């Protein structure tokens, strides 16, 4: 007998999908609760990659969902039948051996990637790299704003290479993991172990390489790792929010090497591409979404693909509660948008955020860096990127003449913390709703 009944487990999954659409994955429906003992709910994943993803990103969301569904404070434990030992003992030396690599999402393959004018070059290059790693384009550098498909392409390359050559040694990690592992190796005198791990990879894939900024020792080590791999014709794939020359404090020799391969940009998708993405994502979720609802979602959300996925997650929940029927009017209410909505302006954002956090507009545009001012200022930048068509430089200009890298950092920081911090997530959603529902001249 399962530890929780079918309805309760369905409620837990629905809560996660609705509250955390950015984290939700299609394979969540394959998860199964196995045991409930001493306040710990053990959930079984289909494979070890899924279990790693859940442990890293979904502990808090599932715990929150379990509490909402059962009324009890529960701890979540994720396991899979592929785990060699559910409770391995700690081993001496470096601790990153078991946790260095990011989990591959089975949905992130080339067949599920929708191409358009905004991403056709990057997609074609990624396919070429997957077919001839180390020979087609090396290094391969993808850049673009958050939520436009960089991670999808990185993982699609990994999937394709593993399908063609299953024995390939692929290291797919975040830049933050690389720098943390380097510092740990320095502290423990284990540089030989560190270098062997990274310099013997057939394919090294690093997401968010811009986090190397202002880390001189990590840049030095990565420079030598890059040279070793490149000289032996191993494939290097990197992603960032901006092109190499715009990564702040990145050494010129690294900029030169990143530019020596192929650098491609992912732009915001046009309406037709967004509609195709909605159709594709709906098919993956087995959702029957009418064409007018497809157009509503694609026409209302133009910031990034993750928000399109979030809207579809809400549609999925709506379909489950309305016997599978999702009409245009119901869809409008659920995703909280209006096809005729006006454009939000920076002054409106400054006014509303100032009221929310009891700050003057001069404070938000000034030079003060206290926490009470910095966080609201970063929220302004984040909302401006989400709700306006202004460039990074234009937004920085409104916020006291700050440069584009400051805006980029704020957008990334608030976006990531908004996923992890439930309170911040709700505050951001409330601010968006208030801005989008204001009368056209309310400022």
CATH of the domain at 212: 3.40.50.300
Are 171 and 217 within one domain?
A: yes
Query: Domain for residue 200, yes or no?
Result: yes
Total domains in the chain come to: 4
Q: What residues make up the domain containing 161?
A: 110-266
Per-residue tokens: 358: 């009891």
The pair of structure tokens assigned to 145 is: 């704003």
Kindly report the CATH number assigned to the domain that includes residue 26.
Answer: 3.30.300.180
The region of weakest confidence among 68-77, 227-236, 305-314, 421-430 is: 305-314
Question: Which tens digit of pLDDT belongs to each residue from 213-224?
Answer: 778 889 999 999
Same domain, 20 and 151: no
Question: Does residue 46 form part of some domain?
Answer: yes
Determine if the pTM surpasses 0.85. Answer: no
Q: Do both 234 and 283 map to the same domain? A: no
Same domain for 253 and 126, yes or no, is yes
pLDDT of residue 92: 43
Mean pLDDT of 387-409: 82
Task: Choose the weakest-confidence range: 45-59, 321-335, 346-360, 402-416.
Answer: 321-335
> Domain boundary at 335, 360, 383, which?
335
Residue 443: is its pLDDT beyond 50? Answer: no
d(CA 258, CA 260): 6
CB within 8 Å of 365: residues ≥ 6 apart: 350, 398, 399, 400
Do 372 and 277 fall within a single domain? no
In a domain? residue 285: yes
Query: How does residue 257 score in pLDDT terms, banded at 50, 70 and 90?
Result: very high
194, 232, 246, 297 from 169: Cα distances, Å: 15, 14, 31, 40
Tell me: cis bond preceding 416? Omega within 30 of 0 counts.
no
- Provide the CATH number for the domain around residue 277: 1.10.8.60
102 part of a folded domain: no
Note whether 399 and 311 are same-domain residues: no
CA–CA separation, 311 vs 332, rounded Å?
A: 10
């Amino acid at each position: 007998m399962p530890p929780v009944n079918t309805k309760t487990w369905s409620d837990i999954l629905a809560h996660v999908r609705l509250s955390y659409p950015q984290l939700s994955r299609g394979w969540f429906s394959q998860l199964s609760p196995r045991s409930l003992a001493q306040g710990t709910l053990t959930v079984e994943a289909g494979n070890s990659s899924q279990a790693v993803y859940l442990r890293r990103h979904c502990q808090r969301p599932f715990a929150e969902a379990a509490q909402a569904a059962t009324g009890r404070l529960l701890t979540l434990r994720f396991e899979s039948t592929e785990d060699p030992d559910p409770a391995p003992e700690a081993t001496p030396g470096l601790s990153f051996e078991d946790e260095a690599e990011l989990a591959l999402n089975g949905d992130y393959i080339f067949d599920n990637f929708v191409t358009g004018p905004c991403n056709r070059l990057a997609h074609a290059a990624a396919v070429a790299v997957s077919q001839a790693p180390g020979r087609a384009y090396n290094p391969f550098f993808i850049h673009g704003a958050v939520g436009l498909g960089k991670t999808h392409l990185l993982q699609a390359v990994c999937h394709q290479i593993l399908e063609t050559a299953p024995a390939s040694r692929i290291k797919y990690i975040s830049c933050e993991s690389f720098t943390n592992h380097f510092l740990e190796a320095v502290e423990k005198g284990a540089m030989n172990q560190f270098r062997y791990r990274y310099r013997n990879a057939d394919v090294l894939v690093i997401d968010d390489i811009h986090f190397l900024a202002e880390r001189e020792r990590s840049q030095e080590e990565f420079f030598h790792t890059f040279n070793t791999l490149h000289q032996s014709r191993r494939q290097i794939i990197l992603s960032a929010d901006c092109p190499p020359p715009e990564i702040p404090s990145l050494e010129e020799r690294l900029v030169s090497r990143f530019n020596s391969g192929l650098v491609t940009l992912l732009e915001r998708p046009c309406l037709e591409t967004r509609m195709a993405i909605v159709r594709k994502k709906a098919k993956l979720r087995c959702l029957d979404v009418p064409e007018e609802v497809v157009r509503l979602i694609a026409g209302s959300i133009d910031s990034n693909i993750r928000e399109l996925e979030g809207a579809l997650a809400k549609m999925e929940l709506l379909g489950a509660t309305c016997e599978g029927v999702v009409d245009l009017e119901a869809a409008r209410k659920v995703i909280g948008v209006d096809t005729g909505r006006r454009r939000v302006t920076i002054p409106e954002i400054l006014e509303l955020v100032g009221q929310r956090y009891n700050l003057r507009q001069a404070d938000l545009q000034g030079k003060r860096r206290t926490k009470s001012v910095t966080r609201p200022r970063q929220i302004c930048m984040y909302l401006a990127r989400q709700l306006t068509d202004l460039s990074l430089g234009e937004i920085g200009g409104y916020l006291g003449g700050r440069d584009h890298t400051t805006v980029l950092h704020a957008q990334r920081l608030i976006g990531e913390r908004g996923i992890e911090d439930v309170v911040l997530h709700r505050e951001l959603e409330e601010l968006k709703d208030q801005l989008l529902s204001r009368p056209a001249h309310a400022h």
